[in-house]
Amino acid sequence: MKFQLLLAGLAMLSCSCTRHTPVVNGVARGLAKPVQSRAPTAPTPTVWERQVKNAVDAGDGDYELRRLREIVAAEPGNIPARLDLAAVYRQRGFPDVALEVTRLAAARFPESGEVELALVRSLRDLNRRTEATEGLEAFLKAHSQTAPEYYSWLGILRDESGLWPAGEPAHRQAVELSPNFDYLHNNLGYNLLMQKKNDEAAEEFRTALKLNPKSQVARNNLGLVLANQDAAEQAVASFQAVSDPATAHNNLAAVYLEKGNYPAARKELGVALSYNKTHPAALKNLELVGRMDGQAATRAGESAAPPRWTRWKIGFRRLFVGPLEDSQPEAARTVSAK
């Protein structure tokens, strides 16, 4: 299975941004205290107990959930059924229950790599990345694996925790195990890009494109590297290979915005709007430039607002890191351009 991290698109790369966030295209729970009533009644259920009861009630009217629960009860050693049950609970909006199902499976089958990866995904769903990382590290120490997914996941978890240097060796090990998988090269390239190792990142993205010339993710990421290397024409060409001219120039402008080069950003936005004067992302980014450098008025009826750098940085990162998709072999970073 491939698990891809879709780089939602630089808010600057043609989506819409506000720094606030440039627009790019393409691209735990505690227990409630029991409440005593006047009469001697049973204590109020805890939050967790209510969650379980709601999940069970939901399952009673859900054929798929009821069927899977019956299979697990009748066949306690059926690992696929347990994982399917966790997946359905997650899809139905009960991630806590899904996590407990996978935890029970991991306790019963501690040597199963399939169960370990399911547990990692469930923990990540609830933003418990530290626990997921430590658990996967311990699992790999006790049970060496030859499939790249385990090390790619380890790299991704470290990346998402901001531990880029620690994530690099995990990504490299995944590539070493399966050098012909383009998404693994893309993931390594993304890690290197975040460490500002632009030359090495570009090499990985080019390798990914040799393996899969149609990869929009690798193509957009290569454009980002080229923009960081001040190779503007090559960056636009790479962006335009998977988008239109207006979007390509807007995406380059988004990179300049992130770097604080407002004059260059204005220039690229002007080119983008010359191709499409109603390009929504370019218009929003142009307004954003005005708010940043104070050289342009805001739209009628709006007042200038001070830049919110934290929100901007978070928004920019989200352009490149999104939720894992169970339909992909591994988490691959992408910037999607429309």
Residue 243 — very low, low, confident or very high, per pLDDT cuts 50/70/90? Answer: confident
Give dist(CA 152, CA 60) in Å, integer.
Answer: 38
- Measure the CA–CA gap between 15 and 263, rounded to whole angstroms: 21
30 or 77, higher pLDDT:
77
pLDDT at 202 over 80: yes
Mean per-residue pLDDT, 32-49: 40
Q: Tell me: the pLDDT tens digits for 55-87?
A: 555 545 688 999 999 999 999 999 999 999 999
The span from the CA of 219 to the CA of 206, in Å, is: 8
Q: Where are the domains of the chain?
A: 57-128
CA–CA separation, 164 and 169 (whole Å): 10
Q: How many CB atoms lie within 10 A of CB 57?
A: 10
What is the model's pLDDT at position 311?
Answer: 55
Q: What tens digit of pLDDT does each residue of 264-316 get?
A: 899 999 999 999 999 999 999 999 988 887 775 333 333 444 445 555 555 55
Tell the CATH superfamily of the 57-128 domain: Tetratricopeptide repeat domain (1.25.40.10)
Alpha-carbon torsion angle 222, 227, 230, 235, nearest 10:
70
Which of the residue ranges 55-59, 112-116, 159-163, 269-273 would you say has the lowest mean pLDDT?
Answer: 55-59
Q: What pLDDT is recorded for position 206?
A: 95
Query: Is the pLDDT reported for residue 46 higher than 50?
Result: yes
- First-to-last C-alpha distance (Å) of the chain: 25
Residue 203: the pLDDT is 96
Burial of residue 278 (number of CB atoms within 10 Å: 0-12, 13-18, 19+):
exposed
Q: What is the pTM of this model?
A: 0.68
Based on its alpha-carbon atoms, the radius of gyration of the chain, rounded to whole angstroms, reads 23
